[in-house]
Structure 1
Amino acid sequence: MYTFLAFGAGLAFLLGLADLLSFYGKKPKKERDVSSNSEAKSVPSKREGLTISILFFSVSLVQMHLYLELSEQLREFPWFAEIHIPVLFLIGPLTYLYFQRLTGAKETKLSGFHFLPAVIAFLILLPFLLRSSESKLRFLKNEDPSDVYSWVLLALLVFATILNLVYPSALLQRVWRWRSNTDEENRKSFSPILWLFSGTLFVIVLFVIAQIFFMPLFLVAASGLTLLVSVIFLIGAYDPGLMDSFQKSSREARYKESRIAGLDVEALLLRLDDLMREKKLYLDEDLTLGNLSKELELSTHQLSEILNSRLQKGFREYLADFRLEEAARILREEPQRSVLSAAYGAGFKSKSAFHKLFQEKYGASPTSFRSSQKN
């Protein structure tokens, strides 16, 4: 079982090395070939390549420390003791920043603050890391229970593990939101990433439980980490274009979100509902997305995105719902009017379109619907 942990450390190291060679062993490429009419393929920048390489190297170092510690071989390499703790603080921020760049987020001056906990942890641990191998060996043998680093190391480990829980949680929530607001055809590109983040969260929760409540669970959690690394390797080998697909879909989703950023969407939805129910704008058969956008003082792109992301409807579908409700009301309450009059009175231009949409919504033709209401 311990060998499996060493395998995970080695595999993570090889993944980091492969990414490093892939991105730094080739000539620089443009991220997108905008002059070509063919479908552009996203090429990660060298900065992205370095980020993901350091991430895998960090995972490798942490996993190797777990292997040596759990297999009780760490005493043979006392210089290596606890060196993984500052590195542990890097995993969450590196994952987050790589994800941000991958999905097209603008880098801000605050990006560097994500690494502040790692720097602080390193400074706190520096006196311990500078100890002699003999001193570290005595610490590993717990010969001096009063050593201040006994509780300092535990506190740092717990804090680092919990911090690493925050990043994938935030990313999982974001990817889920993007997937929910994406059309059915492109949703599948988000699924592998969702499963990966879900698995990451599960493994980190195991580490938290092991660290605070039940130490024997550490071996299971560490094995789960190896499984995650193996899954990443297998996904990359099975579908090399997966990240390109995710990058394209996620950047589209981020762009759509940015178009309505800063707007009070809830207030706009209430205003829109008032325009429809009070002013009955849908009765205007010539109502367009542009006209409705002007009423709300929005661009057509913003209104379209609000309808798609919040109501999961396009403009025509949204408009048709109100018109169908009005037509159904006329058929129920105004028996003297014909079906055609009800259709035109509700804002429909086409009789055939009205019949088709009415049948889909109410499961009956307008005539049958009226008859059933009488009964």
Structure 2
Amino acid sequence: MGLGSIYLLFGAAFGFIWALGILLSPASFGERVRIFFLLSFSSIWLLGGVSFFAGWTSHYTILYGFHLPFALGIAPVLYLHFQITLLGLPVSKTEAFFHFSTSMFCILLFLPFWTLGEEFRQEILKQMGQPRGYSSVLAFMQISPKIAILSYFLPVLWSYRSYIFRAEKNENEERARRMFLLYLILITFVISWGLVGTLLKRIDFVRESIFSLPALLVIGFLLSHREQNWLGFVGKSLREVRYKKSRLKGMDENQIKTKLEALMKKEKMYADEDLTLSQLADELKITNHQLSEFLNHRLSMKFSDYINFWRVEEAKILLLEDPDRSILAISESVGFNSKSAFNEAFKKFSDTTPSEFRKTAIKYKLSIKF
């Protein structure tokens, strides 16, 4: 194994270790999971580069393309993270499934290659020099992750160009914006460079692009520690841009708030664990985007946080009114589908756990009696 392969292997190991560290961070569960998968998929992509440059695929043909379904998952995870964390928009399971369909399609394409035996794989790899038929499809899949990332990145950059080039009054926000912009430019350039190299059959371009990926991981790690709140600043600014042309213009926002609170207090819609933004918007007779803007921009809460807030408030009442009822039963009755999600939300809005809240409240009641 050459120095180049060792360097890429270091990058993959660094990405995996960082991913595991993210799982232990204080961020929300969803944010931790998304970043974990983003870093893990990037590391597996790097392992694909190691297998190519180290010649592993020549000796172990079944390794060819193993990294591609994961590499194709990078762009969807980035998109989901951008939508949920930075813009505060909910993403349905159906929409998420659609974005990952390219990864599943890739697996289906490679199934014959992986399952039809060594002789078949050797024949397909021999045809890669002058690809035709099935081999041409597999050859194209090698560049599909780069195309996917650029297809997601470039429209986003264009949509938010007014944010990217504007000046910030706050020095911290301005620094975060510059860091964010620089990192996006670096990623876009590296991916584009590799794509151009593949199309022009310039192996040196491809090599330079692949070898830049570990450096991007390290830079991302350093930036995340230097500017720990950069995503907070960036998300706030992006939401401002998104809502610049308000969809709520001409609408009675006080009336929306009143109706929304009535649906929570009287109808207790939050108790439905499958409640979606769409269903709530239909009840209010407004669009998904209007409700999303109202929650994010007017109440400064994501849809999930707003619903969980009401669930926690109801849970507090039940914890005190029925001290013999289990915490799990209470969490399910207010709409949570797991005890861990309930505990996380309860601590977020109450700075304590459900069991600690119940114990403290009972002790307080006893102290009043005496």
Residue 147 (structure 1) shift: 7.5
Measure, in 2, the Cα distance between the counterparts of 1:64 and 1:126: 20
Q: Which amino acid aligns with 1:213?
A: L
Measure, in 2, the Cα distance between the counterparts of 1:227 and 1:257: 38
Which of 88, 91, 95 is the matching residue for 2:74?
91
Gaps of 5+ in 1: 24-43, 263-375
Q: Which amino acid aligns with 2:21?
A: A
1:8 aligned residue: 11
Gaps of 5+ in 2: 251-370
Residue 114 (structure 1) shift: 1.5
2:175 aligned residue: 188
Give the alignment's TM-score, normalised by structure 1. 0.57
Residue 140 (structure 1) shift: 4.2
- Are the aligned partners of 2:57 and 2:63 in contact in 1 as well (CA < 8 Å)? yes
1:206 aligned residue: 193
1:37 aligned residue: none
1:168 aligned residue: 153
Q: Which amino acid aligns with 1:121?
A: C
- 1:60-83 alpha-carbon deviations (Å, 9 max, x no partner): 111111112022233344332211
Aligned in 2, Cα 1:148/1:256: closer, same or farther, shift over 3 Å?
same
Aligned in 2, Cα 1:202/1:261: closer, same or farther, shift over 3 Å?
farther
- The answer to whether residue 232 in structure 2 is matched with residue 244 in structure 1 is yes
- Are the aligned partners of 2:160 and 2:241 in contact in 1 as well (CA < 8 Å)? no
2:222 match: secondary structure: helix
Measure, in 2, the Cα distance between the counterparts of 1:58 and 1:95: 11
Q: Which amino acid aligns with 1:5?
A: L
Q: Which amino acid aligns with 1:106?
A: P
Measure, in 2, the Cα distance between the counterparts of 1:22 and 1:214: 42
- Are the aligned partners of 1:12 and 1:59 in contact in 2 as well (CA < 8 Å)? yes
Instruction: Report 1:358-369 matches (<5 A).
Output: none
The share of aligned pairs that are identical, in percent, is 24
2:64 aligned residue: 81
2:260 aligned residue: none
1:105 aligned residue: 89
Measure, in 2, the Cα distance between the counterparts of 1:69 and 1:12: 19
Give the alignment's TM-score, normalised by structure 2. 0.58
- 1:149-205 alpha-carbon deviations (Å, 9 max, x no partner): 321111222333222211121232344322446643233322211111111111111
2:115 aligned residue: 130
- Are the aligned partners of 1:179 and 1:187 in contact in 2 as well (CA < 8 Å)? no
1:116 aligned residue: 101
Q: Which shifted more, 121-130 or 75-84?
A: 75-84
Aligned in 2, Cα 1:257/1:77: closer, same or farther, shift over 3 Å?
farther
Q: Which shifted more, 125-134 or 191-200?
A: 125-134
Q: Which amino acid aligns with 1:163?
A: A
Aligned in 2, Cα 1:131/1:54: closer, same or farther, shift over 3 Å?
farther
2:214 aligned residue: 226
Which of 42, 47, 51 is the matching residue for 1:64?
47
Residue 242 (structure 1) shift: 2.4
Measure, in 1, the Cα distance between the counterparts of 2:105 and 2:163: 34
Which of 19, 22, 35 is the matching residue for 1:19?
22
2:138 aligned residue: 153
Aligned in 2, Cα 1:201/1:75: closer, same or farther, shift over 3 Å?
same
Residue 228 (structure 1) shift: 1.1
Aligned in 2, Cα 1:175/1:223: closer, same or farther, shift over 3 Å?
farther
- Are the aligned partners of 1:121 and 1:156 in contact in 2 as well (CA < 8 Å)? yes
Instruction: Report 1:288-367 matches (<5 A).
Output: none
2:24 match: secondary structure: helix
Residue 145 (structure 1) shift: 7.0
Residue 100 (structure 1) shift: 0.9
- 1:111-168 alpha-carbon deviations (Å, 9 max, x no partner): 4321122222221222222244565456446699788432111122233322221112
Aligned in 2, Cα 1:149/1:10: closer, same or farther, shift over 3 Å?
farther
Aligned positions, number: 244
RMSD of equivalent CA atoms: 3.0
Q: Which shifted more, 73-82 or 175-184?
A: 175-184
Aligned in 2, Cα 1:261/1:51: closer, same or farther, shift over 3 Å?
farther
Measure, in 2, the Cα distance between the counterparts of 1:60 and 1:101: 23
Measure, in 2, the Cα distance between the counterparts of 1:110 and 1:18: 28
